Amino acid sequence: MLTVDDEQNTPVARSAAKGNGDRSDARDAASSGGWRRPWRLIPGPDNTKGRVVRSAVAIVLTISLIMAMQVGISVVGALRTPGNSSFKAKWADWLRDHNGNEVVNALETVYFTRDAPSKGGVPQHGVRRQAAPKAFPGQKPAVQVAAPTTIPHLPAPAPVKLATTTGVAGEGQWQPTGPLVGGQPAIYYTAVRPDAEYTSILVSLVYMDTKLLKVNLMPGSEEPSGQFLNPPVIAGPNLSKVVAGFNGGFRFKDGAGGFFLGGNQAVALQNGKASMVIYKDGRVNIGQWGRELQLTPDVEAVRQNLVLLVDGGQRVPNLNPDDTSIWGNTLNGRVLVPRSGICVDTNGALIYVAGPGLKITNLADTMVRAGCVRGMELDINYEWVTFNLFDHTNPADLSQVTGRRLFQEQQSPPSRYLSPNARDFFMVTVK
């Protein structure tokens, strides 16, 4: 017969005293003189499946939490980014800067593929009619009525060759618009279809007479960084002579090339890159850096972007839209996306080309049909492709400027460049 002391010395009793077993079971086992294995050592039903499910749920919740945190951090980072860009553009740039380039590329590819235009059809609105040119305010009357032969200017552009057998009304026919400088149109506009496949799309072209107009490279407030003589905005004395503004190229982190302005090589110029060069006397040229173009004392500005699309009046050989080592760390050239480019013809005129739903080959072929001898791509996507014409509505106050979009699909506001712009751009003024 066990005493109380003996009962407390049994293994079951000691286990129960420590809280590792059921106390009533321990007392029952002790009173019967038997040995009962603690309950935690008795095998229960197999619950492996339940454990796997709980583990999987925990992993999914953890990953979801991490992703939510990353999204939250990226949103905050984008919101804190200065500049006049839209939230979408800031968010995309922030993600690209924080190892999210592949994510952005995938999302943009899906978006633009889903938003791609249908094949065939005709343009919904036709070739847009532009406002007739007007004498630029502030010029002396003697200059305005001077005979055309006394004002150096380039010849009017020839019609653009069509990619289709039949055109829509006004397609490929240049319309003078913008200012009359010395009695001469300085800007012409037209639009054409990019190819015979996507015939509902119109590509806009702007012809700029570089003998009457001065092209100026303007730095962005965020990119490139550095100190420059030109501000990141059209303001002050420039307001009285500005006629247009258009976008620059890719971000320099995305393989664009270099940037030079007024003696400041903010981003190193690279041999082999397509380059737009502005000279101190107002001339403009486009070519390959290190071949026909070098940094000479008469160079005022250089903006590089990727490689040439057009060379010698032809699309460059073996133009591969899928080669991201050429097109930079962004969408490849096959995706139908808003694109822009710039080229020069044999007379030295500058021609800006832009449109929605374009492949890189469309951009090159349109330049060739417009008579360009060398051309390069500029920026892409709705956020950045921008060409605004500026009108002076009050001759008594030339600081009052009103902008108008070049083409209807352009999403950026007509006032862009009249406030500090995050990225570099080009300002066009009368000479």
Give residue 388's pLDDT band: very low, low, confident or very high (50, 70, 90).
very high
Give residue 286's pLDDT band: very low, low, confident or very high (50, 70, 90).
very high
Give residue 33's pLDDT band: very low, low, confident or very high (50, 70, 90).
very low
Q: What is the C-alpha to C-alpha distance for residues 253 and 255, in angstroms, rounded to an integer?
A: 6
Is residue 123, in this structure, part of any structural domain at all? no
Torsion (CA) 27, 30, 35, 39 in degrees, nearest 10:
10
Asked whether the predicted pLDDT for residue 40 surpasses 80, the reply is: no
H or E element, residue 113: helix 101-114
**252 burial via Cβ count (<10 Å: 0-12, 13-18, 19+):** buried
Residue 299: what are its φ and ψ, rounded to 5°?
A: -85, 130
Residue 33 belongs to domain spanning: 4-41
Could you tell me if 22 and 55 lie in one domain?
no
Could you tell me if 351 and 418 lie in one domain?
yes
Beta bridge partners of 387: 246
Is residue 177, in this structure, part of any structural domain at all? yes
**Sequence letter at residue 363:** L
10-45 as b/e, with b when 16 or more CB fall inside 10 Å?
A: bebbebbeeeebeeeebeebbeeeeebeeeeeeeee
Is residue 60, in this structure, part of any structural domain at all? yes
Look at the chain and report how many structural domains it folds into: 3
Could you tell me if 243 and 305 lie in one domain?
yes
What confidence tens digit (pLDDT) does each residue in 306-338 have? 999 999 999 999 888 777 666 544 555 457 888
Is residue 425, in this structure, part of any structural domain at all? yes
**HEC string for 359-417:** CHHHHHHHHHHCCEEEEEEEEECCCCCCEEEEEECCCCCCCCEEEEECCCCCCCCCCCC
Q: What is the C-alpha to C-alpha distance for residues 40 and 42, in angstroms, rounded to an integer?
A: 6
Is residue 124, in this structure, part of any structural domain at all? no
The pTM score is 0.76
Question: Tell me, what's the pLDDT at 18?
Answer: 45
Could you tell me if 77 and 193 lie in one domain?
no
Indicate the average pLDDT of the chain. Answer: 81
What confidence tens digit (pLDDT) does each residue in 198-246 have? 999 999 999 999 999 999 999 999 999 899 989 999 999 999 999 999 9
Could you tell me if 94 and 213 lie in one domain?
no
Is residue 119, in this structure, part of any structural domain at all? no
More confident residue, 329 or 414: 414
* Edge-to-edge strand ranges of the sheet holding 274-279: 264-267, 259-261, 299-304, 274-279, 284-288
Could you tell me if 64 and 148 lie in one domain?
no
